[in-house]
């Protein structure tokens, strides 16, 4: 760039700065200075004698090229790609996302997922007489529960050798936690460690709820009645029962790990008639996920539910108060209590049913006390 000279020197070089702009723009004055008037080109007058105003904003119409150079620039702009992300980049991003979700064999797993979706839409899947959908439970229901058990509750399992590899058996467990998550964790544990499906017996309320009823049926649950329990046990299923019912999960936090009454022993009668073993299960850790400190009986009766729980966090924190506390869980399956030595007709003997029920209850209660003494803390 040539060096500018003083205004008094001859052949001074004038550098036209901002020739495309409007004289006086940016000076804060509508009238340009004398220096600006000398540098700026003389504006052309319109046919009506008025000076043109500021350049209008572009509206997307390309001005006509006035020179070969401008024409070439216009042709290059026409040949340029349209704005946005190219299709190849979209496909590459989709492949990377599939690799992150499904791993190295993402193509095979994605194909399996698409085939599964097609079968579901076409109705090409099987359910048993109780509505149990084995494929849906294994692919989605168990997959959704697994991270909660492994990462949140850090579940520890003992006594897996007491679960029979085949044949009918009755798993009897304590019930706790305000919300029956212990039943869901038991189903996942049996599936992942014993490689069997646990068929839980649910209360009437479970099958009166619109969405929960369908989900419970598809995951293998059925109504807690002696007839259905005996049918499944005779068919070789592993059946789960929580005899405390709502009294167990709805008891105050001050009575945690104190077993409630085990009903009238209907589960024992089913085991005696079918001759299957009874496996006592003790669960420690579920009592602390929702510490129940209060209840609203009048509202519960109005809504037709057993109780309205009040915890240190619910309903005060709203939906956030429904997140369970990350307590450390321990599950221990006890030694099976055999019933095949009894005659099926003895299932109608109330004293025998009471004695076996009391034996199962005491076994679970003593195991709970032992596990509580062993654990270091609620969250460790």
CATH number, domain containing residue 138: 3.40.1130.10
| Residue-range definition of the domain harbouring residue 187 | 134-145+153-289+324-374
The contacts of residue 361 (CB under 8 Å, 6+ apart) are 243, 259, 262
CA within 13 Å, CB half, 340? 10
Residue 25 lies in a domain: no
Rounded to 5 degrees, φ, ψ at 91 are -65, -40
pLDDT of residue 150: 95
Residues facing residue 309 across a β-bridge: 295
Residue 284 lies in a domain: yes
pLDDT of residue 155: 96
Q: How many domains does the chain have?
A: 1
Residue 138 lies in a domain: yes
pLDDT of residue 38: 61
pLDDT of residue 17: 53
Residue 354 lies in a domain: yes
Residue 331 lies in a domain: yes
Residue 312 lies in a domain: no
pLDDT of residue 270: 95
pLDDT lower than 70: segments of the chain: 1-83, 101-102
CA angle 141, 145, 148 (to 5 degrees): 165
Cβ-contact 255, 345 below 8 angstroms: no
DSSP state at residue 141: I
pLDDT of residue 156: 96
CA angle 203, 300, 173 (to 5 degrees): 35
Buried b (16+ CB within 10 A) or exposed e, 344-375: eebbeeeebbeebbeebbebbbebbeebeeee
The contacts of residue 303 (CB under 8 Å, 6+ apart) are none
pLDDT of residue 100: 74
Spatial separation of the C-alpha atoms in residues 284 and 366, rounded to whole Å = 12
Spatial separation of the C-alpha atoms in residues 128 and 107, rounded to whole Å = 31
pLDDT of residue 268: 94
Q: Which of 184, 186, 165, 187 is nearest to 236 (CA)?
A: 165
pLDDT of residue 264: 84
Spatial separation of the C-alpha atoms in residues 282 and 299, rounded to whole Å = 32
DSSP state at residue 186: H
Spatial separation of the C-alpha atoms in residues 171 and 163, rounded to whole Å = 9
Residue 31 lies in a domain: no
Is the link from the previous residue into 315 a cis peptide, with omega within 30 of 0?
Answer: yes
pLDDT of residue 60: 47
Residue 120 lies in a domain: no
């Amino acid at each position: 760039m040539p060096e500018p000279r003083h205004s008094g020197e001859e052949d001074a070089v004038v550098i036209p700065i901002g020739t495309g702009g409007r004289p006086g723009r940016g000076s804060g004055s509508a009238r340009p200075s004398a220096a600006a008037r000398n540098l700026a080109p003389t504006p052309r007058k319109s046919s009506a004698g008025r000076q043109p105003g500021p350049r209008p904003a572009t509206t997307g119409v390309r001005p006509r090229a006035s020179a070969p150079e401008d024409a070439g620039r216009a042709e290059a702009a026409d040949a340029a790609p349209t704005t946005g992300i190219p299709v190849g980049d979209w496909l590459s991003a989709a492949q990377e996302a599939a690799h992150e979700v499904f791993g190295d064999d993402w193509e095979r797993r994605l194909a399996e997922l698409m085939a599964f979706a097609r079968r579901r839409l076409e109705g090409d899947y099987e359910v048993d007489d109780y509505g149990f959908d084995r494929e849906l439970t294994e692919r989605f229901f168990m997959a959704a529960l697994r991270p909660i058990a492994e990462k949140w509750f850090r579940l520890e399992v003992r006594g897996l050798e007491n679960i029979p590899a085949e044949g009918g058996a009755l798993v009897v467990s304590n019930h706790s936690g305000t919300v029956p998550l212990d039943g869901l964790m038991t189903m996942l544990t049996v599936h992942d460690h014993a490689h069997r499906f646990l068929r839980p017996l649910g209360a009437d309320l479970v099958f009166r709820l619109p969405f929960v009823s369908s989900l419970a049926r598809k995951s293998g649950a059925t109504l807690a009645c002696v007839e259905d329990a005996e049918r499944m046990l005779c068919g070789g299923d592993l059946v789960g029962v929580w005899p405390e019912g709502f009294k167990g999960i709805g008891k105050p936090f001050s009575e945690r790990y104190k077993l409630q009454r085990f009903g009238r022993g209907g589960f024992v009668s089913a085991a005696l008639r079918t001759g299957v073993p009874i496996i006592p299960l003790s669960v420690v850790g579920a009592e602390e996920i929702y510490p129940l400190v209060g209840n609203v009986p009048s509202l519960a009766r109005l809504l037709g539910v057993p109780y309205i729980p009040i915890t240190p966090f619910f309903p005060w924190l709203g939906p956030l108060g429904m997140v369970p506390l990350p307590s450390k869980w321990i599950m221990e399956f006890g030694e099976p209590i055999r019933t095949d030595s009894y005659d099926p007709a003895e299932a109608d003997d109330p004293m025998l049913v009471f004695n076996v029920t009391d034996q199962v209850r005491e076994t679970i209660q003593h195991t709970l006390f032992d596990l509580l003494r062993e654990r270091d803390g609620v969250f460790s």
